[in-house]
């Protein structure tokens, strides 16, 4: 029964990610501006609504799969590193740290990636003719993963711009950072080195969804022209940021788990 629970958890996680990948590939077929005939706009708009409904369901499947997998790992109380990670993050204190980190980092990531928009110098109602409050889905046209966008005007200066790829990366990186921080709470007294590696991974992960934001910050110090040039260079290195940050955030929990392992392979943290 335990093996069946873990197997179902893994299947849900894989199914969720595969579904998200298929969603991006399928919706990319509707990103040709020539397809935007008056008769096709309504159809693409309905598909965009279905895209986000399926995306939310996929997130739910992944989340529930992770929950089932972790629960069975803790129940079996094995001696592998995955079990130690599950036990180290299952305590009440670790859960509080995880929740606080996930929410805080998610909000910070939203600001960095441009998901949460604050423009005090721009009045959305005047500049864009927007109704406050209001929202809509823009189904076309942009690069794969960047459509359909959800645009929400909350006030005259605050809004949301939800981009699918940014949303997926935000949840993945925020989860990984929260896991790293949660384990670090248990591992800190044993290994400061593991904590440092987690910090490096989190810092690199900040710019996954919007590496050009780094140029925005640096332009304040090095000048606008240099900042723009640097933003363009950083945008071209987006894949590199992803390649560096996500593997680090994935590997670090296992490195810290080794510090929480007893000589007999069991976890030093009580399950």
Q: Which of 18-22, 124-128, 212-216 is least confident?
A: 212-216
CA distance 16 to 96: 26
Share of the chain above pLDDT 70, in %: 72
Structure tokens at 187: 């591992």
From 119-128, 217-226, 257-266, the region with the lowest mean pLDDT: 217-226
Give the predicted TM-score (pTM) of the model.
Answer: 0.77
Compute the mean pLDDT over every residue in the chain, rounded to the nearest whole number.
Answer: 76
Q: What is the mean pLDDT of residues 11-29?
A: 91
Which pLDDT score is estimated for 22? Answer: 92
Q: Are 19 and 58 in contact (CB under 8 A)?
A: yes
* pLDDT tens per residue, range 224-258: 334 334 444 444 455 456 656 788 888 888 887 77
Lowest-confidence pick of 1-15, 51-65, 170-184: 1-15
Q: What is the mean pLDDT of residues 136-165?
A: 86
CA distance 31 to 14: 27
CA dist 147 and 199 (Å) reads 31
Q: Which of 169-183, 198-212, 227-241 has the highest mean pLDDT?
A: 169-183
pLDDT of residue 13 exceeding 50: yes
Between 234 and 120, residue with greater pLDDT: 120
Give dist(CA 117, CA 122) in Å, integer: 11
From first CA to last CA, the distance across the chain in angstroms is 20
Count CB neighbours of 98 within 10 A. 22
Nearest partner of 83 among 247, 254, 198, 201, judged by Cα: 254
How far is 133 from 18, CA to CA, in rounded Å? 35
For residue 18, what pLDDT band results from cuts at 50, 70 and 90?
Answer: very high
pLDDT at position 65 is: 93
250 burial via Cβ count (<10 Å: 0-12, 13-18, 19+): middle
β-strand partners of 170: none
Sheet-wide strand order for 116-118 = 116-118, 158-162, 149-153, 134-138
Which among 173, 226, 164 has a CA at the least distance from the CA of 203? 173
What is the structure's pLDDT at 129?
84
CB 211 within 8 A of CB 138: no
* CA 234 – CA 84 distance, rounded (Å): 37
Percent of the chain with pLDDT over 90: 13
**Banded model confidence at residue 213, pLDDT cuts 50, 70, 90:** very low
Indicate if the pLDDT at residue 215 is higher than 80. no
pLDDT value of position 258 = 78
Per-residue pLDDT band at 196 (split at 50, 70, 90): low
Q: What is the largest CA-CA distance in the chain?
A: 69
pLDDT at 61 over 80: yes
């Amino acid at each position: 029964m335990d093996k069946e629970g873990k197997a179902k958890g893994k299947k849900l996680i894989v199914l969720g990610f595969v579904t998200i990948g298929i969603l991006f590939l399928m919706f990319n077929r509707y990103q040709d501006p020539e397809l935007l005939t008056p008769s096709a706009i309504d159809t693409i708009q309905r598909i965009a609504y279905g895209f986000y409904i399926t995306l939310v369901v996929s997130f739910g499947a992944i989340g529930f799969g992770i929950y089932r997998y972790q629960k069975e790992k803790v129940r079996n109380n094995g001696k592998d590193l995955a079990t130690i990670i599950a036990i180290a993050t299952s305590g009440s204190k670790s859960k509080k740290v995880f929740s606080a980190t996930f929410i805080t980092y998610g909000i910070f990531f939203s600001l960095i990636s441009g998901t949460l928009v604050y423009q005090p110098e721009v009045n959305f109602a005047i500049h864009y003719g927007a109704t406050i409050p209001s929202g809509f889905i823009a189904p076309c046209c942009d690069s794969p993963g960047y459509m359909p966008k959800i645009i929400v005007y909350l006030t005259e200066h605050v809004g949301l711009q939800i981009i699918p790829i940014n949303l997926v990366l935000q949840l993945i990186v925020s989860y990984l950072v929260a896991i790293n921080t949660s384990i670090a709470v248990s591992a800190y007294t044993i290994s400061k080195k593991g904590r440092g590696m987690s910090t490096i991974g989190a810092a690199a992960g900040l710019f996954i969804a919007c590496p050009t934001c780094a140029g925005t910050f640096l332009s304040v110090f090095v000048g606008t022209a240099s900042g723009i040039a640097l933003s363009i260079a950083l945008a071209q290195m987006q894949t590199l940021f992803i390649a560096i940050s996500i593997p680090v955030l994935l590997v670090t929990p296992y490195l810290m788990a080794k510090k929480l392992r007893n000589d007999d392979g069991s976890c030093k943290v009580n399950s």
